[in-house]
Structure 1
Amino acid sequence: MNARHHTAVSGIGQISLEPVEPARDAAVVHRWLRDPHAEFWRMGGLDVGAVEEYLSGIAADPHQDSWLGRIDGRPTFLAETYDPAHVLLVGVHKPEPGDLGMHLLVSPPGDRPRSGLTGAVMAAVMRWCFDALGAARVVVEPDVRNAAIGRKNADAGFRVVRDVVLGDKVARLSTCTRDEFARSILGGPR
């Protein structure tokens, strides 16, 4: 999980990913987490210092990474990747070689929502997980109540494995291989 930078061009602009720098990026991530659309992250009550501490904890862990996504140079999303054999899903999911856990937080739409933004970001992050990070299969565990991300995951080719309890959250454990993504709405021919 050590790809340092990745750039792709989509219908919404040039999408790039780079490692999060906690001190630099905490304020923008804090703003995104405080928005109601991020309610399922359950971090809206954190202050900027706590967000920086959270991001620093990820940076210090050899089994997970956080990435700042930009569109045309503007911070637009946060992606987190992790090894499910060591983080979050230990004892809940039997990892296969090449499994890579992923979380995605897209910035709030603001005054000028961009149609297709979340789908383009999801597609770019999935391609990056497979191509730059070498995943054989991407694993996600969104809150079962998050219908919007459930639909987006289905559009990306994720298959629901089962619902699992992760702390105080009931999560919908789902997986997606490179082939499943390639056959999906978001991963099909560009």
Structure 2
Amino acid sequence: MRPADAHTGAGTGAAAPPDATGVEDTLELRLTEELLALLGDDPSASAPRPDAPDRVGGPDLLRGPDRVGGSDLFVAPDLLGGPGTWRPVTTPAGVFQLVAVELERDLGVISRWMNDPAVAAFWELAGPESVTAGHLRRQIEGDGRSVPCLGVLGGRPMSYWEVYRADLDPLARHYPSRPHDIGVHLLIGGVGNRGRGIGTVLLRAVSDLVLDNRPPCARVVAEPDLRNTPSVSAFLSAGFRFAAEVELPDKRAALMVRDRAHRAQL
């Protein structure tokens, strides 16, 4: 999948040294207690457990305190604070709100958007509804590090969003991530809403929502495909900066960053 490109519907090698890419960020090697808990490690332990996973993800996450009463009921950690519960905001395009995806209610419209050729070129989820259903279900039934949402503008669903913990995502292997980095993927659903600057407006609104609702987050990041110049332009216009080109498994991406410290100036 190639998410995160705004205008056409999309909205992850080690990071190159700063002098090669212009990346000003420093690599954070400190593991937070939250990340250690996800990995199943005791922060006070002097050595990793022999059964600890070698990467974030997989069934090893479902153990220890993440189980209820020793049962198989998994309780997802509060990694994002429920983007689907964040308050509506007034934007120049109208009142906008993120609404958590419900598979039975929303699968039809999201699958239809995914089959738009302009969207499919970047998201690679075209096909029967089962293709999109599988993608959504992995997040809805996952560990809480990625939350799929509909973007509702003026009371009408018109975009699809994924708000995710970038520092706990495979993307973190490809850039100097920091604890609590949050990423966004965006798909503008209707053709009539593209090419009018709405992507820029909504990217700014959603990144503001992230920073307002997640105080530990110092940066909102995104990785649109470099070929999608309208998307990169939308991120730049929304106050993101171009940090680097990064080589990801499925694309060459533009690493876009919106810093909390500079949000008032951009």
TM-score, normalised to structure 2, is 0.63
- How many aligned residue pairs are there? 182
**Runs of 5+ in structure 1 lacking a partner?**
185-190
| Kept after mapping to 1: 8 A contact 2:167/2:180 | no
Match of 1:129 in 2: 210
2 CA distance for matches of 1:26 and 1:133?
28
Counterpart amino acid of 1:66? P
Q: Distance in 1 between matches of 2:264 and 2:203?
A: 13
Closer, same or farther: CA 129–37 of 1 in aligned 2, 3 Å = farther
One of 164, 167, 170 as aligned partner of 2:249 = 167
SS in 2 for 1:54: helix
Cα separation, 2, equivalents of 1:72 and 1:98: 31
Instruction: Give the match's secondary structure for 2:166.
Output: coil
Pick the structure with greater CA Rg.
2
- Give the match's secondary structure for 1:29: helix
Of 41, 45, 49, the residue aligned with 2:123 is 41
| 1:145 counterpart (227, 233, 236) | 227
- Provide Cα deviations, 1:148-185, integer angstroms capped at 9, x if missing partner: 0110111122222222222121111221112333322x
Tell me if structure 2 keeps the 8 A contact 1:23–1:52: no
2:8 is the counterpart of 1:8: no
Asked if 1 retains the 8 angstrom alpha-carbon contact of 2:114 and 2:132, the reply is: no
| Structure 1 runs (4+) greater than 4 angstroms displaced | none
* SS of corresponding position for 1:173: strand
Confirm or deny that 1:58 pairs with 2:111. no
Alignment of 1:171-186 (within 5 A): 171-184=253-266
1:48/1:176 Cα in 2 relative to 1: closer, same or farther (>3 Å)? same
Query: What corresponds to 1:77 in structure 2?
Result: 159
Report the secondary structure of 2:191's partner residue. Answer: coil
Distance change >3 Å, CA 114–CA 147, structure 1 → 2: closer
Higher relative contact order (CA 8 A, sep 6+): 2
State how far apart, in whole Å, the 1-side matches of 2:214 and 2:160 are.
16
Shift in Å at residue 113 of structure 1?
6.5
Instruction: Tell me the percent identity.
Output: 30
Alpha-carbon deviations, 1:13-53, whole Å to 9, x = none?
Answer: 2111111112221111111122233222222x232122112
TM-score w.r.t. length of structure 1: 0.86
Aligned residues of 2:201 and 2:238 also touching (Cα < 8 A): no
8 Å contact kept, 2:103–2:137: yes
